[in-house]
A = this chain, B = another copy of it.
Amino acid sequence: MEHRIEQIKKQLHAQSYKLTPQREATVRVLLEREEDHLSAEDVYLLVKEKSPEIGLATVYRTLELLSELKIVDKINFGDGVSRYDLRKEGAKHFHHHLVCIECGSVEEIVNDLLEDVERIVQNDWGFEVKDHRLTFHGICKQCQQSAVKAN
């Protein structure tokens, strides 16, 4: 944890941004809930528990800044809110998501499954890929099992 905070501090300083207490509190929440996919509001409420004086706009600005620095990825699962997802330590690409249309759960795939596809896009379409967003919608393992039992 402290190690990753330090790392992020360096990334900020490299662009001459400061790691203010508010920013640090925000980053800590993201680290503590790394598996989750929090909205700005979610993050705000969690940060507020420890640092009640923080403002919502600051959380928005911090998340925006972290997005620009590629420390977090902004993603939208189609429910009208942007969610902020910490990039895995050392990962050079954004991970993929499995969204269950039954229970709403979100699972992550950290393996890069798109290497071949990106090569094709590069070669056949002449498009220089810098980043990607891949989300599968379907039925998660648990819901499949529940469906079997119900029959």
Q: Are A139 and B135 in contact (CB under 8 A)?
A: no
Q: Are A138 and B134 in contact (CB under 8 A)?
A: no
**A76 contact from B78, B101, B118, Cβ within 8 A:** B78
Q: Are B132 and A107 in contact (CB under 8 A)?
A: no
Q: Given A114-B117, A127-B141, are A133 and B135 also a contact pair (CB < 8 Å)?
A: yes
Q: Are A113 and B109 in contact (CB under 8 A)?
A: no
Q: How many residues of A contact B (CB 8 A)?
A: 34
Q: Which residue of B lies closest to A75 (CB)?
A: B78
Is A131 interfacial (CB 8 A cutoff)? yes
C-alpha spacing A129/B126, complex, angstroms:
29
Q: Are B107 and A113 in contact (CB under 8 A)?
A: no
Q: Are B136 and A131 in contact (CB under 8 A)?
A: yes
C-alpha spacing A144/B125, complex, angstroms:
12
- 25 of the cross-chain contacts (CB-CB < 8 Å) are A74-B78, A76-B76, A78-B82, A80-B82, A98-B127, A107-B127, A113-B117, A113-B120, A113-B121, A116-B116, A117-B134, A125-B141, A127-B138, A127-B140, A128-B144, A129-B136, A129-B137, A130-B137, A131-B137, A132-B134, A132-B136, A133-B133, A133-B134, A133-B137, A134-B134
Q: Which 9 A-B residue pairings sit nearest by Cβ, starting from the closest?
A: A131-B137, A128-B139, A130-B138, A126-B141, A76-B76, A129-B138, A133-B135, A113-B117, A128-B138
